[in-house]
Amino acid sequence: METSGRWSYSKRGRGRPSRRSILYVDILESIILIAGKYDLDPNHLIDAFVEAWNDETSHLGKLKIICRERTQDSATLLITDGEKAVFQFPINLEVLNFPEYLKAQIQYFPLSPHARRKLEGKQKKISDLRYRMRRIDLKAKIIEIPPAKLVFTRFGTMADVSNVKIGDETGSIRLSLWNEQIDKVHVGDMIELKNCYIASYKGEPQIRIGRTGTLSIIDDEDANLLLKRNNLNQTFKIKGKNDGHSSSA
């Protein structure tokens, strides 16, 4: 499904959720929040919801999903962490009938400011990242360093910029590096980013360090082992997003 900057639904697909379904929007945001809080893959969480609908209960990590109230076209899902109830919400059968469509929408879904604040400020994986997130901490490996380009910045100065490709076991994304930052890294380096943010350039996402962020070279054997076991060719994408910056290349 193609998107064009604004997250939207399509009613052309037979039986797909209605264009203005507020509940559907709430479900997507709930999935992202729960997955972010408990370090889960949102796609696996969707599968667990479907399993709970079919079998009354399911498990994912330390969470248990219980289908409490069930009608012909909806259910109430209760999520517990041990004995503690952590989340409960209604969900329509039309949503559960199209889990792949739901998964396809997750990376394009624009989080509310409240949701972004709840997900920010903790160590992330690349698959967790969403457009306009701030205060991002991340560990990743340098995969590719394109030749630097000399650009004219919005501050009226000339600078070298390179959109370096970095990856972890969940995917890859571009990191915008400037001037001496480019010389600091080499292909194969493990890096740690702190207090960064997600922007986009020509519709593709970028991590940007900004004035308050930091980049460090680290020695992380566990992260390197995970990277060797996983394919780094899965690129994280947000289509149709352009934050208007013209100083990146």
- Average pLDDT over every residue of 193-198: 90
N-term to C-term CA, the chain: 27
Q: How confident is the model at residue 80 (pLDDT cuts 50, 70, 90)?
A: very high
Q: How confident is the model at residue 37 (pLDDT cuts 50, 70, 90)?
A: confident
Question: Taking 80 as the threshold, does the pLDDT of residue 78 lie above it?
Answer: yes
- Six-digit token pair at 70? 């069930």
CA dist 245 → 28, 78, 150, 203, 206 (Å):
28, 43, 16, 11, 11
The residue that leads in pLDDT, 127 or 112, is: 127
- Average pLDDT over every residue of 173-191: 93
Question: What count of other Cβ atoms lies within 10 Å of the Cβ of residue 215?
Answer: 16
- Average pLDDT over every residue of 213-236: 65
Question: What count of other Cβ atoms lies within 10 Å of the Cβ of residue 152?
Answer: 11
pLDDT at 171: 87
In the chain, where the domains are located: 22-117, 123-229
- Average pLDDT over every residue of 183-210: 89
Q: How confident is the model at residue 177 (pLDDT cuts 50, 70, 90)?
A: very high
CATH 2.40.50.140 fits 123-229, yes or no: yes
Q: Helix or strand or coil: residue 156? A: coil
- Average pLDDT over every residue of 46-70: 90
- Write the pLDDT tens digit of every residue in 84-116: 998 888 888 877 888 888 787 776 666 666 655
Question: Taking 50 as the threshold, does the pLDDT of residue 129 lie above it?
Answer: yes
Q: Which of 12-16, 38-42, 211-215 has the highest mean pLDDT?
A: 211-215
**What are 152-155's contacts with CB under 8 Å, separation 24+?**
152/247, 153/247, 154/245, 154/246, 154/247
Taking the CA atoms of 142, 145, 151 and 157 in sequence, report the sign of the dihedral they define: positive
The residue that leads in pLDDT, 187 or 2, is: 187
Nearest C-alpha neighbor of 182 from the set 200, 208, 161: 161
- Six-digit token pair at 237? 């994408």
Compute the distance between CA of residue 136 and CA of residue 65 in angstroms, rounded to an integer: 29
Identify the helix (H) or strand (E) that includes residue 207: strand 204-208
**DSSP annotation string for 3-56:** -BSB----S-STTPPPTT-HHHHHHHHHHHHHHHHTT--HHHHHHHHHHHHHHS
C-alpha 163, offset from chain centre: 19
C-alpha 131, offset from chain centre: 8
- Average pLDDT over every residue of 5-17: 38
Q: How confident is the model at residue 118 (pLDDT cuts 50, 70, 90)?
A: low
CB of 234 closer than 8 Å to CB of 223: no
pLDDT at 141: 94
- Write the pLDDT tens digit of every residue in 14-25: 444 444 344 567
